[in-house]
Amino acid sequence: MAAPPLKGIRVVELARILAGPWAGQLLADLGADVIKVENPDGGDDTRRWGPPFVTAEDGTNLSAAYYHATNRGKRSIALDFAQEGDRTALLELIASADVLIENFKLGGLKKYGLDYESLKALNPRLVYCSITGFGQDGPYAPRAGYDFIIQGMSGLMSITGPAGGEPQKVGVAVSDIFTGLYAVIAIQAALRHAESTGEGQFIDMALFDAQISVLANQNLNYLVSGNAPTRMGNAHPNICPYEVFEVADGHFVLAVGNDAQFARFCRVIGAEHLAGDADFSTNAARVANRERLRGEITPKLKTFPRDALLEKLDAAGVPASPINTIEEMFADPQTVARGMRIELDDGHGNTLPSVRAPMRLSATPLSYTRPSPRLGEHTQEILRELEERKS
């Protein structure tokens, strides 16, 4: 089996919280040597973002679960680059790196000589990825970026939540995570450029830009119609019926994607006549008449127990699903079959849970060799490597 695809790539991560570390974790999964630079005084803030906390066999606090969600596979070096000696070591480390990821406020690293223009002179091949809330220019560039703020400003919260109700954020920090994913794509493209030209480049990643970009069909719904989408609860603006419905013992997701599926759905619930009704025979008609359609199918659905209905819909080829808790998701046989939960040995007698990345490469599988590092766990190891490199 071949080595992971990014083996031999060194990444210096000057990032905290989520977006930058998420990018670093994925690069580590892909085989890169990701060195997380943390302040000796506490390290990444997310180490303290609990409970829950991971506890070692000997009772040692191994940091919050939040920290472990986004720092798998890295090495940690504890350096205070406000101190000259530590800054010198960091510059030596960057000189040996292919990639640097940072998420400081605009211009925050320049006073330390850690901005792109300064480091480009040190390492012309360096791919420098800066992640901020609003990017390097524009009126909001100096502002700090927080996922919740970005979800509000980007338009995401205006389309999330019940119709006529309070705007809602998504239940996980999607603006951070999407930015981390886009950052990895950009970094890999820049690495390809560096390989062919010998020149690195600066990557300007903004949470605001990333979240706007992933509004996808809702963006185009507005740009084409001139009407801003609104909150619709669990309903879909362009497809019907495609939402949550109540059954005899709870709720389920129904996701009818085309007219043939709708006809089969109608047969399952004993409402064959609806498929031939001109108001419902096409998706466009169903969208236009969604309230009347809901009135027709809701009473019928309430007569079915959830699991019995899901079995019938599955047999008929109609997309539908339960609404799992996270506990139920991890127990789901598909989750188990795909091996999404993994256990990692930390080398200190502890096994830590994690969740693998969703990419499966047949020739160059991803690497899951270590859990998130303890603060400064690899400081001496990395400094020793720098000394050996100089000799």
Per annotation, catalytic residue among 29, 115, 176, 209: 176
Which residue in 136, 296, 306 sits closest to 205, CA to CA? 136
- HSE value, Cβ hemisphere, 13 Å, CA-based, for 233: 10
Which residue in 320, 274, 280, 263 sits closest to 299, CA to CA? 274
d(CA 42, CA 17): 13
Q: What is the DSSP letter of 21?
A: H
d(CA 271, CA 275): 8
d(CA 248, CA 269): 13
176 carries an active-site annotation: yes
Which residue in 63, 141, 132, 74 sits closest to 103, CA to CA? 132
Please give the single-letter amino acid code of residue 272.
Answer: E
In 10 A of CB 388, how many CB atoms? 8
d(CA 15, CA 133): 13
Q: Which residues are catalytic?
A: 176
